[in-house]
């Protein structure tokens, strides 16, 4: 179960990218070759599932990230402080040096009042004004997950909270890590690269090529079934799920080799179709997720 | 001196989602309290017109920490609507996936969300800087729990790894679907699941349960704080298996000292204090989806008020452990926390039993057809309590989708009778030791394990700008 299906160095090397980068960054911090950077993690209009996914990181893991690589300044799910004292940690970074990671889209309806993330000096602080304030001033901005990258499910039609991805509110360039949720390797690898070398090579949609350069369909272990026209007619079958609505042919990310949760499985390995959760336009342009009545 | 202080805590950190606690403190006693969610996305509206099968993957995105719960409830609603009877093997597989989420959630809730309220974590880590000093455990005991805080990350992660073995990935699994799960058990998967599960169970028994009792020993007054109504409700879980019977708890309620069978027909939702309008102020799940209305007078939250027989009910681990008779020590902040860690052990044992009964290589999937019109309900107890999904299908697409979450029960708003929700009720009457650092309120609310991402199809007080943080 833990084995990769392919021993090609192109695959195996890529699997080690994230952990190699994180270990290199931790070493560099320890030897004071690079500073331990401040990290602000904002949970905005979404499900807070990307911070949970980050906790699922195995190698590299969350503990080494939070204790050895960065100063984790703010995160709603994990920080010990609450109320104004918590917001002080965030606003205390004003004018300082920090890297900003954002999960969730941003609700823009009624000046952002549909998503309030806290109170500062008694006044409600919206997700909208927070991203405006802390986004432009950040050294780097990373959109973690599909909602922050492109609106995602929070912006699904009819988009009741009028959600948008964070780039549309910022002049500052946003590095996008779509995926619902974002894989912990994608985030930690990107963060380590930023600390060590600056901005990684990105594609035209601002995704790091080291994780987003391959189409799922091109490296799918079930590709031979597609090529021979052998298609599953229901879930649970071991053949190509193209006719059930698989979005592997349009989704660009390295799921088939990286897999999930300590590399134990992935959606197609679970005999279910890819739903394109790492693709722009998810979910509206990726639906229906499952259909039995295609020809 | 008699003075009323208004205390506002926002954000309430270490919960899932955004929430404000708003309390009046009079002579050190909480005289009024409100819980308010601060995020609106409107999933019920989004689901209208979509392919019914998509609800299973779509609704999971309501919540990142309890996404499996939504996949299970929506699958049950679809099975009800399609008239699909799930096989016993299908149920075992699905319930094992669901069990993984209980383990993941309860371990993270105890160590990452609850422990920082009572345990001094190393402030050399910026994440752990605190705003109060009510830490009472002797250094040695404190430091052991600090060690377990970090050790626990491996076990909650492993619980999600188990979930992915059967469910493809976590959060937001692909495995739970009509008929059971998408894939099949293999001897290799069963062996791996058992091995991971035994390690997690050992951590629960050797570390988490003793740690929870260690905290309880030094914070004894929390057995008196945060009682609430003492009404309990469960939709049942790990129950009614053909051969294994009920391994945990049947759908039931507890009120006035009596345990009764649950009658789902008695569930209503009320929007008296919520920013919604509808033809009816109180409605049953299939009747209507209220429209958002920010300008509604006298409303203070977008959390609605679910009621059973017109009354607020508490849901969650304490409710279940009480109703199945395994925990009857008391009803309080600390009892909720103890019930949760004890439940983790119970669920681990149930999962071992289900694993023992798995038969490898059974395909539970079929080709399903969306009916022209149908309706169905999926009622199930999940990590945080009773979760209901109600679906109506017309012209082969979703025409109505109603979701009532556990945290909507626990964080519900006042109805026309002015009855506070269970979380609000639990705070009212509490003695606050230091009104400038009212740690009690966050501790009480966290004992409910609120998930505001779930409870809020919610928004809070658009045009109601309240005054300062602490107002004399």
- Domain of residue A29, CATH code: 3.40.50.700
DSSP one-letter string for A121-159: TTEEEEHHHHHHHHHHHSSEEEEESHHHHH-GGGG-TT-
Helices (H), B168-265: 187-203, 209-218
Residue B242 makes CB contacts below 8 A (sequence gap 6+) with B88
Q: Which two tokens stand for residue B163?
A: 């979930």
Q: How far is B344 from chain A (nearest CA, A)?
A: 19
Question: Last residue of a domain, which of A192, A210, A228?
Answer: A210
For strands B470-471 and B4-9, give the pairing.
antiparallel
The answer to whether A148 and A161 have CB atoms below 8 angstroms apart is: no
Within 8 A of A154 by CB-CB distance, chain B residues are 41
**Residue B467, helix vs strand vs coil:** coil
In this prediction, residue A113 carries a pLDDT of 83
DSSP conformational letter for B364: -
Q: Do A55 and B40 touch (CB under 8 A)?
A: no
Residue A109 lies in a domain: yes
| Cα B337 from Cα B325, distance rounded (Å) | 17
In this prediction, residue A166 carries a pLDDT of 98
Phi, psi angles (nearest 5°) of residue B102: -55, -45
Are A196 and A79 in the same domain? Answer: yes
Q: Does A124 score more than 50 pLDDT? A: yes
Interchain CB contacts (distance < 8 Å): A and B: 277
Residue indicated by tokens 């994230």: A18
Give me the residues of B, 273-332, that contact A with CB < 8 A: 292, 294
Residues of chain B with pLDDT under 70: 1-2, 456-472
Q: Do B177 and A235 touch (CB under 8 A)?
A: yes
Q: In this complex, which of A89, A154, A237 lies closest to B41 when CB atoms are compared?
A: A154
Q: In this complex, which of B126, B172, B188 lies closest to A49 when CB atoms are compared?
A: B172
Q: Count of alpha carbons within 13 Å of A164, Cβ hemisphere only?
A: 12
Q: Do B153 and A62 touch (CB under 8 A)?
A: yes
The answer to whether B416 faces chain A, any CB pair under 8 Å, is no
Q: In this complex, which of A53, A75, A180 lies closest to B127 when CB atoms are compared?
A: A75
Domain limits at B99? Answer: 4-471
Residue A3 lies in a domain: no
> What digits encode the pLDDT tens for the residues A239-251?
999 999 999 999 9
Are A83 and A132 in the same domain? Answer: yes
Are A238 and A265 in the same domain? Answer: yes
Are A143 and A250 in the same domain? Answer: no
Q: Measure CA A269 to chain center.
A: 21
Per-residue CA distances from B467 to A28, A102, A124, B282 (Å): 47, 29, 10, 31
Pick the residue from chain A with its C-alpha nearest to B153: A55
Kind plus residue range of the DSSP H or E element containing A101: strand A99-103
Residue indicated by tokens 């052990």: B345
The answer to whether B312 and B421 have CB atoms below 8 angstroms apart is: yes
The answer to whether A79 and B127 have CB atoms below 8 angstroms apart is: yes
Q: Do A66 and B127 touch (CB under 8 A)?
A: yes
Are A190 and A256 in the same domain? Answer: no
Whether the ω angle into residue A181 lies within 30 degrees of 0, i.e. cis, is: yes
- B272 Rama sector, left if φ>0, alpha if ψ -120 to 50, beta otherwise: alpha
The answer to whether A215 and A252 have CB atoms below 8 angstroms apart is: yes
Residue A1 lies in a domain: no
Residue A4 lies in a domain: no
Instruction: Work out how many domains chain B is built from and give that number.
Output: 1
Q: Hey, how many other C-beta atoms are within 10 angstroms of the C-beta on B329? A: 15
Per-residue CA distances from A203 to A176, A210, B14 (Å): 10, 10, 36
Q: In this complex, which of B131, B188, B364 lies closest to A81 when CB atoms are compared?
A: B131
CATH at residue B219: 1.10.645.10
Greatest CA span in chain A, whole angstroms? 65
Q: Which two tokens stand for residue A273?
A: 């179709």
Are A206 and A232 in the same domain? Answer: no
Over range A90-118, report the average pLDDT: 94
Domain limits at A141? Answer: 9-210
Question: Last residue of a domain, which of A210, A225, A252?
Answer: A210
Phi, psi angles (nearest 5°) of residue A61: -115, 170
For strands A116-120 and B305-308, give the pairing.
unpaired
Residue indicated by tokens 């006035």: B256
In this prediction, residue A5 carries a pLDDT of 55
DSSP conformational letter for B111: I
Residue among A186, A264, A220 nearest A6 (CA):
A220
Are A278 and A195 in the same domain? Answer: no
Q: Count of alpha carbons within 13 Å of A57, Cβ hemisphere only?
A: 25
| Cα A275 from Cα A117, distance rounded (Å) | 30
Residue A220 makes CB contacts below 8 A (sequence gap 6+) with A226, A248, A256, A268
| Cα B74 from Cα B236, distance rounded (Å) | 16
| Cα B49 from Cα B44, distance rounded (Å) | 11
Q: Which two tokens stand for residue B332?
A: 């309080």
The answer to whether B275 and B296 have CB atoms below 8 angstroms apart is: yes
Q: In this complex, which of B9, B128, B157 lies closest to A58 when CB atoms are compared?
A: B157
| Cα B345 from Cα B209, distance rounded (Å) | 9
Phi, psi angles (nearest 5°) of residue B131: -120, 10
Residue among B81, B61, B42 nearest B173 (CA):
B61
Query: What's the CA angle centered on B52, arms B46 and B56, to 5 degrees?
Result: 80
Q: pLDDT category, A170, cuts 50, 70, 90?
A: very high
DSSP one-letter string for A16-85: HHHHHHHHHHHHHHHTTSS--EEEEEEE-BS-SHHHHHHHT-TTTTHHHIIIIIEEEEE-TTT-S--HHH
Q: In this complex, which of A1, A163, A270 lies closest to B174 when CB atoms are compared?
A: A270
DSSP conformational letter for B223: G
Q: Hey, how many other C-beta atoms are within 10 angstroms of the C-beta on B326? A: 14
CATH at residue A255: 4.10.480.10
Q: Which two tokens stand for residue B328?
A: 């009857």
| Pick among B171, B407, B436 to test the A interface (most A CBs inside 10 A) | B171
ipTM attached to this prediction: 0.96
Q: Do B161 and A261 touch (CB under 8 A)?
A: yes
Residue A2 lies in a domain: no
Are A196 and A123 in the same domain? Answer: yes
Following CA atoms B266, B272, B276, B280 in sequence, which dihedral angle do they give, to the nearest 10 degrees? 50
Q: Hey, how many other C-beta atoms are within 10 angstroms of the C-beta on B305? A: 26
The answer to whether B165 faces chain A, any CB pair under 8 Å, is yes
The proportion of chain A whose per-residue pLDDT surpasses 70, expressed as a percent, equals 97
| Cα A95 from Cα A128, distance rounded (Å) | 19
Q: Which two tokens stand for residue B251?
A: 């759908």
Are A204 and A219 in the same domain? Answer: no
| Cα A43 from Cα A251, distance rounded (Å) | 25
The answer to whether A84 and A125 have CB atoms below 8 angstroms apart is: no
| Cα B306 from Cα B407, distance rounded (Å) | 10
DSSP conformational letter for B279: S
Kind plus residue range of the DSSP H or E element containing A10: helix A9-30
Residue indicated by tokens 């006044």: A123
Residue A115 lies in a domain: yes
Are A21 and A104 in the same domain? Answer: yes
Q: pLDDT category, A126, cuts 50, 70, 90?
A: very high
Residue A70 lies in a domain: yes
Whether the ω angle into residue B11 lies within 30 degrees of 0, i.e. cis, is: yes
**Residue B258, helix vs strand vs coil:** strand
Are A120 and A66 in the same domain? Answer: yes
Within 8 A of B292 by CB-CB distance, chain A residues are 160
Per-residue CA distances from A221 to A227, A271, B455 (Å): 12, 12, 40
Residue A201 lies in a domain: yes
For residue B32, what are the β-bridge partners?
A: B24
Over range A39-52, report the average pLDDT: 97
The answer to whether B24 and B5 have CB atoms below 8 angstroms apart is: yes
| Cα B58 from Cα B74, distance rounded (Å) | 9
Question: Last residue of a domain, which of A210, A226, A255?
Answer: A210
In this prediction, residue A10 carries a pLDDT of 74
Q: What share of chain B is helix, strand, coil (3-state, %, to 5)?
A: 40, 20, 40
Q: Does A185 score more than 90 pLDDT? A: yes
Q: Which two tokens stand for residue A154?
A: 């929070």
Q: pTM (2 decimals)?
A: 0.96
Are A237 and A108 in the same domain? Answer: no
Q: How far is A88 from chain B (nearest CA, A)?
A: 10
């Amino acid at each position: 179960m833990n084995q990769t299906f392919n021993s090609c160095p192109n695959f195996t090397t890529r699997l080690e990218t994230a952990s190699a980068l994180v270990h290199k960054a931790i070493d560099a911090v320890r030897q004071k070759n690079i500073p331990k950077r401040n990290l602000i993690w904002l949970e905005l209009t979404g499900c807070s599932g990307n911070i949970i996914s980050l906790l699922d990181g195995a190698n590299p893991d969350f503990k080494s990230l939070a204790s050895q690589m960065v100063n984790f300044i703010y995160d709603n799910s994990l920080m010990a402080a609450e109320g104004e004292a918590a917001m002080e940690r965030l606003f205390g970074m004003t004018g300082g040096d920090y890297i900003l990671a954002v999960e969730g889209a941003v609700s823009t309806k009624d000046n952002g009042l549909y998503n309030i993330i806290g109170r500062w000096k008694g006044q409600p602080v919206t997700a909208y004004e927070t991203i405006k304030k802390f986004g432009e001033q950040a050294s780097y901005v990373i959109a973690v997950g599909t909602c922050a990258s492109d609106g995602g499910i929070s912006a699904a039609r009819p988009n009741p909270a009028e959600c948008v991805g964070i780039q549309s509110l910022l002049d500052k360039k946003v590095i996008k890590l779509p995926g619902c949720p974002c894989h912990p390797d994608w985030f930690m690898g990107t963060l380590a690269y930023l600390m060590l070398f600056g901005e990684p090579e990105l594609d035209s949609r601002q995704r790091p090529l080291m994780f987003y350069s391959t189409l799922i369909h091109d490296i799918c272990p079930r590709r031979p079934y597609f090529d021979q026209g052998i298609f599953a007619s229901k879930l649970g079958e071991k053949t190509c799920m193209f006719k059930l609505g698989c979005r592997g042919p349009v989704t660009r990310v390295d799921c088939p080799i990286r897999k999930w949760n300590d590399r134990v499985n992935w959606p197609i390995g679970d005999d279910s179709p890819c739903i394109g959760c790492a693709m722009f336009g998810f979910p509206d342009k990726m639906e229906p997720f499952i259909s039995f009545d295609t020809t | 001196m008699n003075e009323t202080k208004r205390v506002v805590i926002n954000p309430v950190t270490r919960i899932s989602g955004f929430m404000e606690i708003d309390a009046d403190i009079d002579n050190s006693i909480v005289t009024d309290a409100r819980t308010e969610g601060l995020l609106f996305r409107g999933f019920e509206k989004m689901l209208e017109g979509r392919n019914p099968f998509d609800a299973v993957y779509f609704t999971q995105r309501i919540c990142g920490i309890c996404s499996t719960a939504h996949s299970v409830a929506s699958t049950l609603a679809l099975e009800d609507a399609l008239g699909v009877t799930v096989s016993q093997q299908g149920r075992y597989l699905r319930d094992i996936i669901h069990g993984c989420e209980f383990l993941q959630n309860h371990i993270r809730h105890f160590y990452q969300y609850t422990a920082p309220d009572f345990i001094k974590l190393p402030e050399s880590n910026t994440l752990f800087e605190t705003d109060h000093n009510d830490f009472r455990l002797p250094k040695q005991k404190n430091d052991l729990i600090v060690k377990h805080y970090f050790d626990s990350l491996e076990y909650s992660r492993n619980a999600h790894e188990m979930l992915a073995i059967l469910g493809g990935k976590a959060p937001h699994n692909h495995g739970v679907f009509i008929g059971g799960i998408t894939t099949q058990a293999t001897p290799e998967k069963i062996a791996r699941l058992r091995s991971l599960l035994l390690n997690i169970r050992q951590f629960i028994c050797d570390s988490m349960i003793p740690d929870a009792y260690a905290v309880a020993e030094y914070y004894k007054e929390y057995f008196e704080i945060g009682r609430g109504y003492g009404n309990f409700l469960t939709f049942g879980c790990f129950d009614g298996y053909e051969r294994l019977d009920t391994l945990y708890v049947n759908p039931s309620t507890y009120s006035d000292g009596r345990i009764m069978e649950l009658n789902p027909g008695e569930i209503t939702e009320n929007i008296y204090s919520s920013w919604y309008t509808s033809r009816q102020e109180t409605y049953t799940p299939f009747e209507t989806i209220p429209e958002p209305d920010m300008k509604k007078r006298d409303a203070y939250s977008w959390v609605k008020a679910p009621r059973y027989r017109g009354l607020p009910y508490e849901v969650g681990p304490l409710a279940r452990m009480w109703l199945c008779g395994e925990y009857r020590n008391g009803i309080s902040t600390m009892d909720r926390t103890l019930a949760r860690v004890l439940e983790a052990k119970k669920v681990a044992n149930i999962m071992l039993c289900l694993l023992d009964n798995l038969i490898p290589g059974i395909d539970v999937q079929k080709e399903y057809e969306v009916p022209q019109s149908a309706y169905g309900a999926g009622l199930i107890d999940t990590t945080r309590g009773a979760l209901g999904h109600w679906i109506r299908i017309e012209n082969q697409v979703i025409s109505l989708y109603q979701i009532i979450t556990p945290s909507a029960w626990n964080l519900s708003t006042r109805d026309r009778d002015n009855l506070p929700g269970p979380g609000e009720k639990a705070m009212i009457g509490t003695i606050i030791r230091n009104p400038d650092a009212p740690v009690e309120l966050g501790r009480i609310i966290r004992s409910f394990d609120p998930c505001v991402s779930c409870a809020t199809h919610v928004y809070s007080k658009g045009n109601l700008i309240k005054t300062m943080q602490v107002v004399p």
